[in-house]
Chain A
């Protein structure tokens, strides 16, 4: 394995003030010309006769402009950090190597390198596969070996986040270096990064992910020099550099604080939900015939106001245990008074109670469990007594032990398959800071076939969209406006697949049918479009500091089926509770890596583009087609085909001999900047 020479992050390249100024100027000019162009497009150029293509096209262009604006904002504060201070010699560090099914040899290579890290530390292999062979190898090498504790039996495992959360409870280092099984750390990794933690607010230091098993030309677009470079540096400028799952150092105290804060929030949410459900149950009970009696009605009123009081004191900050206890006591008293008042009510209720859903006193405190219980309860027509009884059971079932989870504290977020991004967003919301340290301190392995690469990209995209739908940064309290936009920027970039489809369709529609979505003259169009396009490309050129961004741009558009599938499946997961691989397994089953079926949608698009071009040229020759429009659209066809061409070498790539899956974010973001 020889490290690649191109694009290797170099630390502390002096930032010329002239470049910074030029970049800011280009950002402002891009935004100005972009705004002029897009407002003209919306107000004066739409061909309403062809609204079905005109509206999607202008919407796609607006999407891209917002993408560019967010990129510009990212670049506004892109900064090279000076080298940090020497680490405090008393710092204690645990190095975690996470593995599930990687080869023992591969993991041990990482473990040997981890053991050889210069700064004093303890190394642990976190083996989610619980393999005896791995345990033996760890013992031989003299490193720690951690598997899930018995608490995790029959509980949700939460993949890598769960693996790390489990290890957090069994170790005690002040700082944690997280490494994927195939990320070989360099000996100086801790010496170069721990110094940042002298600032007591710093919770996270992320370093780049670089891959050594990548051939020249990087056919699979594995390296992400733009992301692990200007983009993370730009986010860093806004204190929004985020955790990418590996090659990062975390402060234990920050994670634990996050775990505890989340624990309390989730308990409160569960109680809140139970109280809302209780109100619904009572509201339904009022419609029961027995509720026409004055005393019954009064009892229901009392329960209702007890619930209202409980919510009020919960919001007022009363301890959760107190609130539920008082509520139970009040409802208990109301219910026994009612029973004493009229024993005949009981008989009527016996049947109803028998039909009650089984809510064992033991266990219902998860947010989702409470949700289903409430749903089941409110779906029934309960008699008033039955309703009161079921409200009592619902409240009693709330408990603080989070029995549905293996451990009450889950410092690493479990709401997404990209736990890393969600975790750092929550840390930022708690007021912690992050650092992006731009220096390669670990050498990793990238997937080396197209099929694996596509699965990995799909997973990142799904995870990012999951976070966006579950905990939208724009609405997240505790984040600054800039932090909100920085997280949103990454999420927004994964919606490019929909824009790509429109961009592919527009020229086809013109070349086949002569329908232009833009109703204007060529001069009017170019007058507004060209300045924006040229300045935008210049901004991109300066921002990327000579790093080639073409591969990233190609993949951003060419992988449109992956992005779209990710968005659809993540939405299905968040809103309908469908598993994420609901779509994926169905479609990728039995597709061997390198198979053309992996890129069938792109192939279809390419064929349609070529056919449309031939038709367009024939129409032009026959005198039906319009010359300038045809020329412009043929240009876009060529551009689109060049974009899609990235998949040809990717498909033919047979890879490095090494294997392994890694986890990082890629250059999707920051690509597809060309609006149109």
Chain B
């Protein structure tokens, strides 16, 4: 699994795992997300368009990243999930917490509770 990174004009950091996001790649993603938060990027989008397969450990890395981002006063959102990824999200009900967004660009477009006042 490879991790591609970019930054949107409004400062949102985008991480795009490429390939299989499983127990093998999960620690890398978790580490990358923690690193971003530590560097001050608290608004993060994980772009899942290039993820061909996601397992529970991959989800675990996303939840861990969500926790670090929220604790730093920001948020982690997911975008461009493929069918398989959406299915896994649904199976575990994680879509109740990590709402899938259409694109990385639109993930932070709408005002969400966390954005107000920036805790």
Contacts and interface: CB of A to CB of B under 8 A. Distances in A.
A and B interact: yes
Given A325-B112, A396-B113, A264 B93 contact: yes
Interface string B95-119: 1110100000000000011000001
Given A261-B93, A396-B113, A172 B23 contact: yes
For chain A, the bracket of interface size reads: 35 or more
B57 interface: yes
Nearest to B89: A260
B113 A260 contact: no
A79 interface: no
Contacts of A362: 119
Interface stretch (A314-322, A552-560, A579-587, A597-605): A314-322
Given A267-B97, A322-B99, A172 B64 contact: no
Given A319-B99, A401-B66, A324 B113 contact: yes
B27 A256 contact: no
Which DSSP category, helix, strand, loop or mixed, fits chain B's interface? helix
A227 to B, nearest CB: 31
Interface in B45-66: 55-57, 59-60, 63-64, 66
Contacts, number: 91
B96 A320 contact: yes
A260 B66 contact: no
Given A256-B59, A324-B113, A400-B70, A169 B119 contact: no
Interface in A300-315: none
Interface string A389-402: 00000001001111
B16 interface: no
A321 B56 contact: no
B96 A169 contact: no
A629 interface: no
A409 B57 CA distance: 10
Given A174-B23, A260-B59, A403 B71 contact: yes
A253 interface: yes
Given A319-B97, A409-B64, A253 B55 contact: yes
B96 A317 contact: yes
Contacts of B23: 172-174, 252-253, 256
B26 interface: yes
A256 B97 contact: no
B99 A407 contact: no
A322 B113 CA distance: 9
A321 B24 CA distance: 30
Contacts of B113: 321, 324-325, 328, 396
Which DSSP category, helix, strand, loop or mixed, fits chain A's interface? helix
Interface residues of B, number: 27
A444 interface: no
B60 A409 contact: yes
A263 B57 contact: no
Contacts of B27: 170, 172
B32 interface: no
Interface in A249-289: 252-257, 259-261, 263-265, 267-268
B61 to A, nearest CB: 9
A295 interface: no
B63 A321 contact: no
B67 A408 contact: yes
A264 B92 contact: yes
A600 B23 CA distance: 53
B92 A401 contact: no
A399 B67 CA distance: 10
B8 interface: no
Contacts of A260: 56, 59-60, 63, 92, 94
Nearest to A398: B113
A400 B99 contact: no
Contacts of A407: 64, 67
Interface string A611-640: 000000000000000000000000000000
Nearest to A260: B92
B8 to A, nearest CB: 20
B40 to A, nearest CB: 18
Nearest to B55: A253
Nearest to A362: B119
Contacts of A257: 56, 91-92
Given A256-B59, A261-B92, A396-B113, A321 B67 contact: no
A259 B56 contact: yes
A321 B99 contact: yes
A319 B96 contact: yes
Interface string B14-34: 000000000110110010000
Nearest to A361: B119
B112 to A, nearest CB: 6
A10 B28 CA distance: 44
Contact of B96 (A268, A396, A402, A408): A268
Given A253-B56, A260-B60, A401 B95 contact: no
A253 B71 CA distance: 26
Nearest to B100: A319
A409 B63 contact: yes
12 contacts: A172-B27, A174-B23, A256-B23, A256-B60, A260-B56, A263-B63, A319-B97, A328-B113, A399-B70, A400-B66, A400-B67, A408-B66
Closest 3 pairs (CB-CB, A-B) = A256-B56, A401-B70, A257-B56
Interface of A: 169-170, 172-174, 252-257, 259-261, 263-265, 267-268, 317, 319-322, 324-325, 328, 361-362, 396, 399-403, 407-409
Given A268-B96, A319-B96, 9 more contacts: A256-B23, A257-B91, A263-B97, A328-B113, A361-B119, A400-B67, A400-B70, A400-B97, A408-B63
